[in-house]
Amino acid sequence: MILDDLVAATKRRMKREQSTISLAEMQAKAAATPTKDPQLVYDRFNAPGIHLIGEVKKASPSKGLIAEKFPYLEIAKDYDQHGVSAISVLTEPDYFKGDIHYLQDIAAAVSVPVLRKDFVVDPYMLYQAKAAGASIVLLIVAILSDQQLEDYFKLAHELGLAALVEAHDEQELQRALDVGAKLIGVNNRDLRTFDVSLNNSIKLRKLVPNNIAFVAESGIHTRDDVKVMEANHMNGILIGEALMTAPDKAKKITQLLGV
């Protein structure tokens, strides 16, 4: 199963990375980076309207290579200047061709909060995220035990990082709610089968109180898709492929948001 492979690869990567920069060193780097207030991120998504998270993603296991040319910093600046509320940056190298340095460069250059999109299975990754200038980390319920979810959620907040807690089904959603998530993402793509259905986030939105911000993730391509998301009370939408493959990103954002 792809998720198991991703988790295994991430654990190996963390072993490698910690042999270059130790946990203690990474903690020191994180401590030397200004601490933000995660509540600002939560407030941003609770403000009226639908908030777009634009994703910077070169490749994915479901689509293969998405962007042959990958001027990641230009793409992020383009997003920043044309109305996104946050920018998601893939930092997973083996399957998504991501890099933590992309995030570091982008966070230094844009005004909106930046999300570390990776398969967090080690607290080291949270210190790394903070040290790189991230404001938000993704926590995927499916790959964490209850204890890990609780620990990483707490640690994220201690570091000034907001957590986007990702669920895919009702059971995972309950675990996200139980940990106290304030920003919940529901992936329309099943990471086990790659099947995409916008109905997944629509169905699960109904189970989450309106004061908890809810982001529909994946498979959103058109203005009509966005209208459906708006009608179903999403606070946010996370869009990767449709933006990455659009030659004119500013125009695509404008079209998607209908502004």
Ligand X SMILES: O=P(O)(O)OC[C@@H](O)[C@@H](O)c1c[nH]c2ccccc12
Q: At what angle do helices 72-81 and 100-109 cross, to 10 degrees?
A: 40
Catalytic: 170? Answer: no
HEC letters along 165-213 = EEECCHHHHHHHHHHCCCEEEEECECCCCCCECHHHHHHHHCCCCCCCE
**Least separation, in Å, of the C-beta of 148 and ligand X?**
16
Catalytic: 187? Answer: yes
How many whole angstroms separate alpha carbon 87 and alpha carbon 181? Answer: 20
Helical H segments across the chain, by residue range: 2-20, 23-31, 38-46, 72-81, 93-96, 100-109, 124-131, 146-158, 170-179, 198-205, 223-231, 241-244, 249-257
138 forms beta bridges with 164
Catalytic: 55? Answer: yes
Q: Give the three-class secondary structure for 13.
A: helix
Query: Which residue lies nearer to ligand X by CB, 35 or 222?
Result: 222
Query: Which residue lies nearer to ligand X by CB, 139 or 212?
Result: 139
Q: Which of 217, 235, 249, 252 is catalytic?
A: 217
Catalytic: 117? Answer: yes
**Least separation, in Å, of the C-beta of 12 and ligand X?**
17
Catalytic: 210? Answer: no
Catalytic: 199? Answer: no
Catalytic: 57? Answer: yes
Query: Which residue lies nearer to ligand X by CB, 21 or 196?
Result: 196
Residue with tokens 């994220």: 156
* Contacting residues toward ligand X, per CB under 6 A: 55, 57, 117, 166, 187, 217-220, 238-242
**Least separation, in Å, of the C-beta of 219 and ligand X?**
5
**Least separation, in Å, of the C-beta of 189 and ligand X?**
6
140 forms beta bridges with 166
**Least separation, in Å, of the C-beta of 80 and ligand X?**
18
Query: Which residue lies nearer to ligand X by CB, 37 or 224?
Result: 224
Q: Which of 36, 58, 117, 249 is catalytic?
A: 117
Query: Which residue lies nearer to ligand X by CB, 162 or 239?
Result: 239
Q: At 150, which amino acid appears?
A: E
Distance of alpha carbon 116 from its chain centroid, rounded?
6
Q: By Cβ distance, which residue is nearest to ligand X? A: 240
Q: At what angle do helices 249-257 and 72-81 cross, to 10 degrees?
A: 40
Just list the catalytic residues: 55, 57, 117, 166, 187, 217-218
